[in-house]
Amino acid sequence: MNKLVAGNWKMFGLSADLPEIAAIAEQSRAYPAVDVALCVPAILIERAVRAAPGFVIGAQDVHEAPYGAHTGSVSAGMLLDAGAHLTIVGHSERREFQRESDADVKAKAETARGCGLDVILCVGESLAVRVSGQAVATVVAQLDASLPAALDGPAWLAVAYEPIWAIGTGKVPTTAEIGEMHAALRARLAERFGSAGAAVRILYGGSVKAANAAEIFAVADVDGALVGGASLKAVDFIPIVAAAAVEGGAAIA
Ligand code: PGA
């Protein structure tokens, strides 16, 4: 499967940024061996899809119910209707600030899939857990409790390992730490879902930049990246896509 490089625009993005989305879409075409997506604010999805026809636009969260009396929330059906192809679930900023539990994340993943959205499911440990030496056990347990009950095939799901202490901080785990975590997540996915689980793409996220992308993509079991700050501008994001193309075996040199 191609590497997946997904941008997470978080709470950034206005109409004025649509040309930047169009530029990212246009420049991504040079790397057909990489799957590229941008997860933008829900209210920008429809305009982003229009600004970048054929490019994969995603959401950053979805409600766990397909519809209902949930003031202020956005359903999977609404995201699809707006033109989204995928959604992030369980980002640490939502787990922390919106108090989302593993059970919530699991329900969101299942509802999104049921409605036809692909899913990027995030897991990751705090600095305290990393320092305590419990990172792998903690994150594998978090994955276990957040995964959907069934996996009919690997293509719709990606897992993003995002150490909370690496998000927006410029700090990155060592390649050995990334490799250890991704191998453990791969093993757990295979245990749960057999060959389909083993084929689920595992992304790394947390301060991925042009300067460190190639090194991270070269780590075994790293199948792509979830990129925050460096996804806002084509000039920062496209070199990350280019690095994924090289490490994906589709060198353009
Ligand atoms: P960052 O964010 O690349 O800005 O560290 C990553 C994320 O939160 O997905």
pLDDT tens digit sequence for 204-226 = 999 999 999 999 999 999 999 99
Which residues 6+ apart lie within 8 Å of 177 measured at CB? Answer: 135
Cβ atoms 249, 29 nearer than 8 A: no
pTM: 0.96
CB of 61 within 6 A of ligand 1: the answer is: no
Beta pairing, strands 56-59 & 201-205: unpaired
pLDDT tens digit sequence for 1-57 = 999 999 999 999 999 999 999 999 999 999 999 999 999 999 999 999 999 999 999
CB of 224 within 6 A of ligand 1: the answer is: no
CB of 205 within 6 A of ligand 1: the answer is: yes
H or E segment at 48? helix 45-51
Q: Which atom of ligand 1 is nearest to the CA of 209?
A: 3
Q: What pLDDT sits at residue 153?
A: 87
Q: Which of 174-178, 239-243, 248-252 has the lowest mean pLDDT?
A: 248-252
Packing angle, helices 135-146 and 102-115, rounded to 10: 50
The Cα–Cα gap between 225 and 222 comes to: 8
Whether pLDDT at 162 is above 60: yes
Catalytic (active site) residue 91: yes
Q: How far is CA 204 from CA 131, 157, 177, 191, 225, in A?
A: 19, 14, 11, 21, 5
Catalytic (active site) residue 177: no
The Cα–Cα gap between 35 and 18 comes to: 20
Burial status of residue 161 (CB atoms within 10 A of its CB: 0-12, 13-18, 19 or more): buried
What's the pLDDT band for 248 if we cut at 50, 70, 90?
low
> Which candidate in 63, 85, 91, 182 is catalytic?
91
Residue 164 gets which letter from DSSP? G
